[in-house]
Amino acid sequence: MRSVKLGIVGVGNIGCEHARLVQTDRVPMMNVVALCGRTIPEEFDVPVFDEFREFLQSGIDAVLIATPTMHHVEAAKEALAAGLHVLVEKPVAMSVAQAREVAALVSEGTQCAVMLNQRFHPAYAEIKRLLEQGTIGHLVRYHWTMTHWYRPDVYYQTSAWRGTWPGEGGGLLINQCIHNLDVLQWWLGLPARVHSHVAFGKYHNIEVEDEVSVYFEHDNGMTGTLIASSGEAPGYNSLDIVGDQGMIRFDGDAVHLWRAEGPVSVHRATTRDMFATPDFEKERVNLSDMGQQHVQVLNNFADAILNGVPLLTAFTEGIGSLQLANGILYSAWQDATIALPLAENDFEAMLQARIQRSALRNPAKIDVHIDMDNSFR
């Protein structure tokens, strides 16, 4: 069987996880043949490179970029210029403007993807299917509380780049909630207007955001709200999407569906019972086992390279979540309702001003326990 010769740049926590997955029989069309990074665990018996350009010329077919966010754009540009296929960890960039610079370099025949693995979350994939089928009718409102992204201080203290403007270009929105923002716009499209309230360093000694509250307006009349935090506990993951003929609820574990016997708008207009409510049937939705999420992205990326199948998470798919993440920050910085698509150049100027006033930190030398399974929420 043909296989993709994969090189991974950035062999920290998530880079090692990807390397281990590729080495299993769950990713049969791909092999890790080179690594690039400062510290490489001994478990990987492949050539190791300190210099990125030498790594790009080592005979690999594709690059998986798992570096800190601040290096995603330049690494992707250099890999594409070298004629290699590229898979970038989320987020694709700090900003929409930076992401578009990369997208413009993708040539025909080159596969360029992003690790939007939560599109393969069984609950999120099922919600996508229910919405596409029009199961709950015309959509009117949604709310998502995502306070399950708790991070203790040591998460930031032991890193030079986490929780800094130059390292990430944001915090909670760009690092953790970028997954939720991706599936939100995947399900519902981008809102037309955003108004946000954002707290910077409320729970942690960081300069970027660790709590957000957002109000969205769509041109079709649908509205939405989002609350997120990386500092409160016990947190939870709770989603409601309400339509004219029912509601979808995700409680962090299961998907529940309420189906109305008819449109709620008709009941509201025609009932003569002053305190009546529509009748609904409620069910717990069966979810399919889609397998490990990252494996799905890796297999699709390899299949696209070898057999030309469409990418399920093409690089440009990562721009929608950046529209939301950047837009939420932009609204907070302006203290105003802002329109989407984003005023990309204005946002970029404000972001770069914050980067120029900041710096990476000196990481603390603390012995830490790391269980990556706890990071995938």
Q: What is the pLDDT of residues 135-176, one digit of tens each?
A: 999 999 999 999 999 999 999 999 999 999 999 999 999 999
Cα–Cα distance, 139 to 264 (Å, whole number)? 12
What stretch(es) of the chain map to CATH 3.40.50.720?
4-116+292-313
At residue 46, the pLDDT reads 94
CATH class of 119-290+321-356: alpha beta
**Domain 4-116+292-313 bears CATH identifier 2.102.10.10:** no
SS3 12: coil
Q: What is the pLDDT along the chain (377 residues), one digit of tens a residue?
A: 789 999 999 998 899 999 999 999 999 999 999 999 987 888 899 999 999 999 999 999 999 999 999 999 999 999 999 999 999 999 999 999 999 999 999 999 999 999 999 999 999 999 999 999 999 999 999 999 999 999 999 999 999 999 999 999 999 999 999 999 999 999 999 999 999 999 999 999 999 999 999 999 999 999 999 999 999 999 999 999 999 999 999 999 999 999 999 999 999 999 999 999 999 999 999 998 878 999 999 999 999 999 999 999 999 999 999 999 999 999 999 999 999 999 999 999 999 999 999 999 988 777 777 666 665 55
- The set of residues, in sequence order, having a beta carbon less than 8 Å from that of 249 and lying 6+ positions away, is 238, 239, 240, 241, 255, 256, 257, 258
Residues of the chain within CATH 3.30.360.10 domain(s) are 119-290+321-356
Cβ distance 102 to 110 under 8 Å? Answer: no
The answer to whether the beta carbons of residues 299 and 283 sit under 8 Å apart is no
In this prediction the pTM is: 0.95
pLDDT tens-digit map of 335-357: 999 999 999 999 999 999 999 99
